[in-house]
Amino acid sequence: MKKEDLMKKAIELSVENVAAGGGPFGAVIADKEGNIISYGTNRVTASCDPTAHAEMRAIREAAAKLKTFDLSGYDIYSSCEPCPMCMGAIYWAHLDRLFYANTKDDAKKIGFDDSFIYDELKLKLPDRKLQSEQIMRKEALKAFEEWIDKDNKIRY
């Protein structure tokens, strides 16, 4: 499939998902030949899972299907510019390219406003709305020390 066909599928998923009671978002992961590996739709309210965004679900399905956490060599097509959580997951999954249709400003206009997260991330921890307190760092460093010394670790 061509990239326009893959985006058309992501958009179709978003429209179908609205009719099914979900959010207006769809995503497709494909290989370089245009074969669809996985897809996802926004099922946050249906699954009572705030992380059940279209991109997250597509990434989880692709990783499970391919039996790898490294999705290098694959592209993601999203009906909308991904939120900060999904962008983080796209980077962590090592997807090669992101194609998107609607923008984050388009999403903001219909009530899906992630700008507060982008704004918060620019702030120093004490200035953020989410109160954060570091505790027990010394004890937590034990796992990091064991990780660094581990010979057979799998890097990701």
Q: Which residues contact 19 (CB under 8 A, 6 or more apart)?
A: none
139 in active site: no
Q: Are 1 and 10 in contact (CB under 8 A)?
A: no
Q: Whose CA is closest to 10, among 33, 32, 46, 34? A: 34
Catalytic-role residue among 12, 33, 55, 146: 55
Q: Which residues contact 102 (CB under 8 A, 6 or more apart)?
A: 79, 80, 81
Q: Are 38 and 29 in contact (CB under 8 A)?
A: yes
Tell me the catalytic residues: 55
